[in-house]
Structure 1
């Protein structure tokens, strides 16, 4: 045990050397980087200080991660095998893979397939750290958890950790097209090189799997929800098989987005009607074909009857009819359907926020047991802030799957620092009150709110829309890696604190120097609120440019449909601003449980963060600060810019504590963010002042350009554009 203690203490001492910058880093290693970790004598490992089985690919993956993490060695100098030594400093395995683990008689009940136990025990008078699980993948997760403790400088004595994931399916959704374009992607091309697959398997695919496994993600949807039916053809299924084989040792299943009209487009059928016997047979055959190649295939993600995508409503059928048809095809293979609830009609609705509820609640309880209805965190579309989606309190008979966005479609793409952990935490902790206080969204997702009715644990899951691409740092910027990390950690345990997650990520990414950790975490924790402030506070939403969603566009109107415009949502007039969703307006509030509906319906009690989401109010209405709505809105715009300016100053002061390459890119991106925050502020004030006709308060700087200037700006090739 002395060797392990030496490794741990050395790591902490080196990492905490005040003012000592880490080695140059391009961000490729994410939060798994070794930094300046010293490499102790490899012979110590060979001598039996680590006992870990290597009989299966997952066992080997866990062993290799442990060696990499403890020794900081890779390549030809790393040990190729570790001897079984029951009295080793670290003992890793399952009762089936390790007689030494079996002999300890540890209580592994209730850990399921993926849970683990990390415990300090005594074996033959010697202290031993045990990482044990019922299944191999649990030991892999336990290994990463142990290394997380090590890398963040946590005490390693007297360990007694017992963890299992709260949600079963923890999935990344890649909005990647077969031509390698990434919809709403800001980190280069798709990492899936379809043309070279299956012959060339990029080593990056293994690194991708490692990163996901390290935070407990166990599934990946490879292609865009706006699906191309070609992904289901034999040529592409052979490519998917190779990816599945690569990911399998890391506990990751592959899923595919299925185009509902595939039986017509690649199957030659005249219809895709889910109640048609030939269509049902085609999907059963396609499922058999997939599982013959990929026995652990996860299932299908489906976007149907939304934004022009085909679906069951084309044939007068319901979402339940469509989902159940696919579920029946997958059920013999233990596959699932993730059916998206992001739907709204091609005709202008009374209130777009209401449509998903209206279409899905009547079918509550009608979906097959292997269907998850995948619901965005809010009813509009991944806005910087939205109230929780009313469906989370309205479908007790149907398992619901959260859909978060990791990519920052509305929070500044890759260049703006916007840590989304607080956004995820805010939604997960939101109280639906459908069964009284404490009926949180997290409890809806994990099934605990309804377990007493389901006769056993229901299917559970969560999805995150990825921003992963061919950029060396994976996500376009170093700080965007934190959103991937935070999503994975909260998918495993929705009750974690976003601040604690930010600190974990910072320590693993930049080191344990207290002079760096505290200011970086403070920056991260104010960053999302800053974006809310400078893009539209007080509940304003959907104010971005058309199509590409880049930059401010509160003036956007016209086009093919009203609910793709900004003016539809803010409804600003000379008298006031905001969307009236009260019982006297669109009545969207009534889709919530009565206590929540009453809160949102009352303009005096509605949280100020959602004031203009639920109420159309006078520009002159007083806010909590004593300022009018107009003056408060301008104040928030200024506050957002000031927060970004403060983040820039903080980061500049850390130049001696961060390697030059990463420091330089973050500094450049923060400069872009300040410039664009100022642009958002100026353009928005110019527009809303033209509507409100209110003067600016004393001391407030007017926009430097007229409104016509801001309206004239065009960005036809902005990244992530869908047009």
Structure 2
């Protein structure tokens, strides 16, 4: 028997960590109060190397060795004390009745450490592996107390979607190229895929769709089918099944048929034949994901067939193998006429699918985005959840931060998901929480669950930002049990990832839990959507891009008013898509929550919120408040120096400093836009007034020239400076009239793609700092070839001694297409943010 100290904290290793192990670090533990850890061996009730039970055995040995320094051997018979892991069936065959198994469902597990043996028993092999990870997680967090519990999944479908292209790029991926594909084919080296499957299994994800929903039909080539088989082979030991996305037109574009009509017998036969070939190589494939008739993609509507007829064609092909078809409800016309007041993209999914309820085959699941538009910072729950009573549904969430900062802004998403999942749609005036609809419980459906768009890449830390991994962890935990509190999930993740130092936990909790509200404040609030550039990268600010185009993400902003009128009375009727209790709430401004006011109502800028503020003043105040929180993130993270290994500390600090600067870009850009549009001044006299700034275009220039930036509001004073040619070194100087003292020198500039300009800033002939405009290499966010809200950024040099009369000089050396652009310089007294 081994006597150990009960673990009261797990400390970060002093050695550098690269994030590749995520929350599965199995770091050594610190000894505290006296306790015991008695197991001396592991008994696995399946020794097949492709079995998740075998993987559980290996994981238990690895984890306990890493955390406790104890090497447990493998055994086949009970001894003094052992960890027994296996399925209910295998346990009964060897030891007799378990007594608890009747409560287990597929993938569920029973964990008992109250006796001399630790029992980890799954309803199936995957469940046994999940139980092993749960046991190791408890040990890693210092929980050595006895436990006896059953854990069952909330829903059977818990999938990851990876929008990977066959050429190795990833649509809306911000962490490097694909781990699955390169050069048109499945990669040869799949070590990274196996590591990813292990991560997914540890948070109970049971399938992964490996390719983009905008699917390339050549995925069905013989070479790629063989490659898919290899992908399935390396994921199978972790209980992660393979899924693939299909291109609806493949029979014509790839199969050389003259049609892809789903009711044409030869098309039906073509899909059946190809499905047989795939299952011959991947007999346990989870199924298909289909995007059809959306954003220009082909689909059954091309032939005046219904979406259900299209979905059912695939369902028939996979039914005999037990496969599932996930059919996306993201169907809409991207060429809407903004001149039509009642036109509304938010209505599309409901209008396309509501009349098809009950017409889908039993193995079809309609995959519905959480809101009616597209992963915005805040949307109401999609009304389609309450409309499909006889159809299986799943909720689509997005871990990759497409509209939410591209993993360069810290945004912990679990609170957003929690609001949606807990929302009660009141179907038939009965409790109808979204989480109970997608599980199948509310409408008594056989299938349902969760699909999360993840988009991991080859970056060592998987998602580009170490702190962004909290979203992947939280997605898995909430898909398993959506009743869990987001803060509880976060703290579990933080302990496993960074250790149990109280300062570390408190700081990460504070930063993360305030991150979504802060992002909402400085991007788009009151339900206006994320005011990003929807026509380009979905990263930086550009509210004007949302209106007057066919994409339907309109704000209908004008000189006097803004917001979408989605009422039945005067607007698009979207409010009426909800069950009566909810529809009545959204129909009137008085009963609509302020945080969705502009989603459902078109109101004057002077409309007063429930707080008493006008809409426009709330905009100004919220954007300043949100950006201020982002500045605090830097200070909070800096307080952890020495408490986190240096590599991860520095990598997170770099992103938090970028985040802080870009939050100011957002703040100034959105406020300036609405100030110019409404001509209503900020009561606090902040918008457009920056006493600490020196505008670059007003400095003394040599080799630089003024440049009118577009969108105008993404430059302070609407203007930046660029070098007069791509081979000319530019200088910008200004005499400082401030009082002598110590200041922070902040420079806003533009870091464009396809160029790495070099900069040097000096004060009084003393070099303050040098830097290179190479963020396109260092950050995973979508880049820009323009001077705009995507490329706008800031660098700050702190604690600079300045004497009154000193000359501040910036020297910019252009590179490629990047003309060393500068927006402004701020000279900031300590603690001031301009």
TM over 0.5: yes
- Give the strand-richer structure, 1 or 2: 2
What residue is the counterpart of 1:368 in the other structure?
361
Residues 1:33 and 1:102: Cα distance change in structure 2 (over 3 Å)? same
- What SS does the aligned partner of 1:375 have? strand
- What SS does the aligned partner of 1:644 have? helix
Question: Matched residues in 2 for 1:341 and 1:160: separation?
Answer: 41
**8 Å contact 1:183–1:722 — kept in the other structure?**
no
Question: Matched residues in 1 for 2:616 and 2:713: separation?
Answer: 22
Counterpart mapping for 1:167-316 below 5 A: 167-194=155-182, 200-316=188-304
**8 Å contact 2:248–2:299 — kept in the other structure?**
yes
1:55 aligns with 2:47: yes
Question: Matched residues in 1 for 2:156 and 2:489: separation?
Answer: 21
- What SS does the aligned partner of 1:130 have? strand
Question: Matched residues in 1 for 2:97 and 2:503: separation?
Answer: 42
**Larger radius of gyration, structure 1 or 2?**
2
- What SS does the aligned partner of 2:418 have? helix
Residues 1:107 and 1:253: Cα distance change in structure 2 (over 3 Å)? same
Residues 1:443 and 1:101: Cα distance change in structure 2 (over 3 Å)? farther
Question: Matched residues in 2 for 1:196 and 1:348: separation?
Answer: 34
Question: Matched residues in 2 for 1:27 and 1:146: separation?
Answer: 22
1:593 aligns with 2:586: no
Q: CA offsets per residue over residues 565-607 of structure 1, 9 Å max, x none?
A: xxx6221122211111111111100000111111111101111
- For residue 589 of structure 2, the aligned residue among 599, 603, 625 is 603
Residues 1:580 and 1:205: Cα distance change in structure 2 (over 3 Å)? same
What residue is the counterpart of 2:532 in the other structure?
544
Question: Matched residues in 1 for 2:194 and 2:653: separation?
Answer: 30
What is the number of equivalent residue pairs in this alignment? Answer: 696
What residue is the counterpart of 1:29 in the other structure?
21
1:670 aligns with 2:670: no
**8 Å contact 1:94–1:101 — kept in the other structure?**
no
1:72 aligns with 2:66: yes
What residue is the counterpart of 2:10 in the other structure?
15
Q: Once the 2 structures are TM-superposed, how far is the Cα of residue 302 of structure 1 from its aligned partner?
A: 0.7
Question: Matched residues in 2 for 1:29 and 1:356: separation?
Answer: 39
1:480 aligns with 2:485: no
1:409 aligns with 2:402: yes
Q: CA offsets per residue over residues 182-236 of structure 1, 9 Å max, x none?
A: 0000000011144597783332222111100000000000100000000112110
TM-score, normalised via structure 1 length: 0.91
Identify unmatched segments of 5+ residues in structure 1. 452-456
Residues 1:384 and 1:198: Cα distance change in structure 2 (over 3 Å)? closer
Structure 1, 174-183 or 537-546: larger mean CA deviation: 537-546
Question: Matched residues in 1 for 2:498 and 2:78: separation?
Answer: 35
Question: Matched residues in 1 for 2:682 and 2:364: separation?
Answer: 53
Question: Matched residues in 2 for 1:333 and 1:657: separation?
Answer: 51
- Give the helix-richer structure, 1 or 2: 1
Question: Matched residues in 1 for 2:574 and 2:262: separation?
Answer: 31
**8 Å contact 1:305–1:312 — kept in the other structure?**
yes
- For residue 163 of structure 1, the aligned residue among 138, 151, 159 is 151
1:320 aligns with 2:308: yes
What residue is the counterpart of 1:510 in the other structure?
498
Question: Matched residues in 1 for 2:167 and 2:511: separation?
Answer: 37
Question: Matched residues in 2 for 1:506 and 1:474: separation?
Answer: 16
Structure 1, 281-290 or 647-656: larger mean CA deviation: 647-656
- What SS does the aligned partner of 2:429 have? coil
Q: Once the 2 structures are TM-superposed, how far is the Cα of residue 250 of structure 1 from its aligned partner?
A: 0.8
1:710 aligns with 2:698: no
Question: Matched residues in 2 for 1:513 and 1:714: separation?
Answer: 37
Question: Matched residues in 2 for 1:670 and 1:722: separation?
Answer: 20
Residues 1:319 and 1:99: Cα distance change in structure 2 (over 3 Å)? closer
Q: Once the 2 structures are TM-superposed, how far is the Cα of residue 389 of structure 1 from its aligned partner?
A: 0.6
Structure 1, 457-466 or 251-260: larger mean CA deviation: 457-466
Residues 1:304 and 1:598: Cα distance change in structure 2 (over 3 Å)? same
Residues 1:45 and 1:653: Cα distance change in structure 2 (over 3 Å)? closer
1:640 aligns with 2:632: no
Question: Matched residues in 1 for 2:630 and 2:107: separation?
Answer: 40
1:574 aligns with 2:559: yes
**8 Å contact 2:620–2:687 — kept in the other structure?**
no
Q: Once the 2 structures are TM-superposed, how far is the Cα of residue 111 of structure 1 from its aligned partner?
A: 1.2
Residues 1:179 and 1:388: Cα distance change in structure 2 (over 3 Å)? same
Counterpart mapping for 1:423-442 below 5 A: 423-442=416-435
**8 Å contact 2:17–2:645 — kept in the other structure?**
yes
The CA RMSD over aligned residues, in Å, is 2.6
Q: Once the 2 structures are TM-superposed, how far is the Cα of residue 716 of structure 1 from its aligned partner?
A: 6.5
TM-score, normalised via structure 2 length: 0.80
Question: Matched residues in 1 for 2:288 and 2:619: separation?
Answer: 43
Identify unmatched segments of 5+ residues in structure 2. 338-342, 696-708, 719-749, 755-775, 786-834
Q: Once the 2 structures are TM-superposed, how far is the Cα of residue 342 of structure 1 from its aligned partner?
A: 0.5
After the TM superposition, which parts of structure 1 deviate over 6 Å for at least 4 consecutive aligned residues?
44-47, 77-80, 196-199, 711-714
What residue is the counterpart of 1:454 in the other structure?
none
**8 Å contact 1:38–1:71 — kept in the other structure?**
no
Residues 1:13 and 1:429: Cα distance change in structure 2 (over 3 Å)? closer
**8 Å contact 2:523–2:530 — kept in the other structure?**
no
Bigger relative contact order, structure 1 or 2 (CA pairs below 8 A, ≥6 apart) = 1
**8 Å contact 1:48–1:82 — kept in the other structure?**
no
1:128 aligns with 2:128: no
Q: Once the 2 structures are TM-superposed, how far is the Cα of residue 13 of structure 1 from its aligned partner?
A: 4.8
Question: Matched residues in 1 for 2:253 and 2:226: separation?
Answer: 19
Q: Once the 2 structures are TM-superposed, how far is the Cα of residue 493 of structure 1 from its aligned partner?
A: 1.0
Q: Once the 2 structures are TM-superposed, how far is the Cα of residue 336 of structure 1 from its aligned partner?
A: 1.3
Question: Matched residues in 1 for 2:372 and 2:456: separation?
Answer: 25
Question: Matched residues in 1 for 2:233 and 2:784: separation?
Answer: 32
Q: Once the 2 structures are TM-superposed, how far is the Cα of residue 68 of structure 1 from its aligned partner?
A: 1.2
Question: Matched residues in 2 for 1:552 and 1:669: separation?
Answer: 18
Question: Matched residues in 1 for 2:64 and 2:27: separation?
Answer: 12
Question: Matched residues in 1 for 2:77 and 2:183: separation?
Answer: 43
What residue is the counterpart of 1:94 in the other structure?
87
**8 Å contact 2:39–2:83 — kept in the other structure?**
no
Counterpart mapping for 1:95-110 below 5 A: 95-98=88-91, 102-103=95-96, 105-110=98-103
**8 Å contact 2:8–2:30 — kept in the other structure?**
no
Q: Once the 2 structures are TM-superposed, how far is the Cα of residue 52 of structure 1 from its aligned partner?
A: 2.6
Q: CA offsets per residue over residues 101-120 of structure 1, 9 Å max, x none?
A: 73353321131231111123
What residue is the counterpart of 1:467 in the other structure?
455
What residue is the counterpart of 2:731 in the other structure?
none
Q: Once the 2 structures are TM-superposed, how far is the Cα of residue 667 of structure 1 from its aligned partner?
A: 1.1
- What SS does the aligned partner of 1:275 have? coil
Question: Matched residues in 1 for 2:287 and 2:356: separation?
Answer: 22
- For residue 381 of structure 2, the aligned residue among 388, 392, 401 is 388
Question: Matched residues in 2 for 1:629 and 1:194: separation?
Answer: 49
Question: Matched residues in 1 for 2:72 and 2:233: separation?
Answer: 24
